[in-house]
Copies of this chain bind each other. A is one copy, B any other.
Amino acid sequence: MDKTAHKKSINDFGKFGLVNHLTKDVRTGNKTTITGIGDDSAVVDSGNNLTLVSTDLLLEGIHFNLIYTPLKHLGYKAVIRAISDIYAMNGTPGQVMIALGISSKFKLDQVEDLYEGISLACEKYHVDLVGGDITSSLTGMTIGVTSIGTAGKNNIIKRNGARPNDLICVTGDFGASFMGLQLLERERKLFVKDKVTQPDLSGFEYVIKRQLKPEIPVSTLIDLKKEEIIPTSMIDVTDGLASDLLHICKLSGTCCRIFYSKVPIDYETTRLAEEFNIDPMTPALNGGEDFELLFTVPLEMVEKIKLVPSVKVIGHMTTSGSGNYIVGDDGSEVEITAQGWKE
């Protein structure tokens, strides 16, 4: 390894660059290890089935701001984040474990609210809470969430199976969660300034909900099964559509071309982006926390995929080396880049 690299700041790497750098020599040796680093969940051979395990760390001030995040919603979202990774591999989540770090500033009713949100999400998605450790922290709140799921041996869908010409499909819409966060942040700043102004969130209920209480498009997975459509690759969109699409491309050895006019964006997202003077495509591509599914299907499924109303085709995979582009209505091509992709 390049010795001078050692004194590099970790900021010199993008997020994914750092993970790749640190784990590039990691080899797996256990015969039960099916999938290691690099996919949504780890996959472990457990006899007849596969066991999927995913883990996630939520840090106060980074992943959530308690000023505008009700703890009940935070608990709910923590579970959603964790089980989303299991669904993204076409698995069924069965259990979650929570490891909580909290400082003494928190009151019992706050922690109870958090757990109420956790329980609500567990109930809705039929998962059991099977671990609940709590440790004290010096400052703030840290939440570690681990989810466990199962999948049949032939049903698992990884990030690396996309092939050139595959159709790029998505559920739902993009950028709403990010714009919801911008709105909450703006209202917080106004409140800090004069302490009287009440937040005005009316007309933006959808983007707020997408930020605070996201859901997972489970029904689409059921519909795909019903139509016997087996995606060649799949990921949940948490880092941003661009970033997660590049993940699939990198691991599949493909490039991609998506169409500007095809990327689904909700009306509220567009309206709010205009208020903020930004192109709605920016949050749609780079916002993240959409919890939608991004997957690819073979080109010959083009008619079949139309039978699933919750799915939209936004582009197609191309051969390695042909570049990753978003194509405008006028045919202009802009390269797709993403945060965290500095190597």
A residues lining the B interface (CB < 8 Å): 5-13, 15, 18-19, 21-23, 25-30, 32-33, 35-37, 42, 44, 46-49, 51, 53-57, 59-63, 94-95, 97, 99-102, 104, 106-109, 111-112, 115, 119, 126-140, 142, 144, 146, 148, 150
Is A6 a contact of B109 with CB atoms below 8 Å? yes
Contacts A18-B134, A46-B47, A51-B51 supplied; 13 other A-B pairs, CB < 8 Å: A8-B108, A9-B104, A22-B111, A22-B112, A30-B127, A35-B130, A37-B130, A44-B95, A46-B51, A53-B95, A57-B99, A61-B137, A97-B146
Tell me if A37 and B144 are in contact (CB < 8 A): no
A-side interface mostly: mixed
> A131 contacts which chain B residues (CB < 8 A)?
36-37, 42, 53-55
- Cβ-closest chain B residue relative to A131: B42
> Cβ of B139 and Cβ of A19 under 8 Å apart?
no
Query: Copy number in this complex?
Result: 2
Q: How many whole Å from A107's CB to the nearest CB in chain B?
A: 6
Give 24 pairs: A residue, B residue, CB < 8 Å, sorted on A: A6-B107, A6-B112, A8-B108, A10-B111, A15-B136, A22-B111, A23-B115, A26-B128, A29-B126, A33-B94, A33-B95, A36-B130, A42-B131, A46-B150, A47-B47, A51-B148, A53-B130, A55-B131, A57-B99, A57-B133, A57-B142, A59-B101, A62-B137, A101-B142
Nearest-CB residue, chain B, relative to A57: B99
Please give me the 7 A-B residue pairs with the lowest Cβ-Cβ distance, nearest first. Answer: A46-B46, A47-B48, A6-B109, A47-B47, A42-B130, A28-B128, A144-B144
**A8–B107 CB distance below 8 A:** yes
Quote the shortest CB–CB distance from A145 to chain B (angstroms): 8
Docked pose: A111 CA to B8 CA in angstroms: 11
| Most chain B CB neighbours (cut-off 10 Å) among A12, A36, A60 | A36
Chain B residues with Cβ under 8 A from A94's Cβ?
30, 32-33, 44
**Contact B57 A101, beta carbon cutoff 8 Å:** yes
Q: How far is the CB of A125 from chain B (nearest CB, A)?
A: 11
- Contact residues in B for A25 (Cβ distance below 8 Å): 119
CA distance A142 to B32 in the complex (A): 28
Q: List B contacts of A13 (CB < 8 A).
A: 108
Minimal beta-carbon separation of A338 from chain B (angstroms): 16
Q: Contacts A9-B104, A18-B134, A53-B97; is A36 near B129 (CB within 8 Å)?
A: yes
- Evaluate contact between A95 and B26: CB separation under 8 angstroms: no
Is A130 touching B47 in the complex (CB atoms < 8 A)? Answer: no
**Pick from B42, B104, B140, B150: contact of A11, CB under 8 Å:** B104
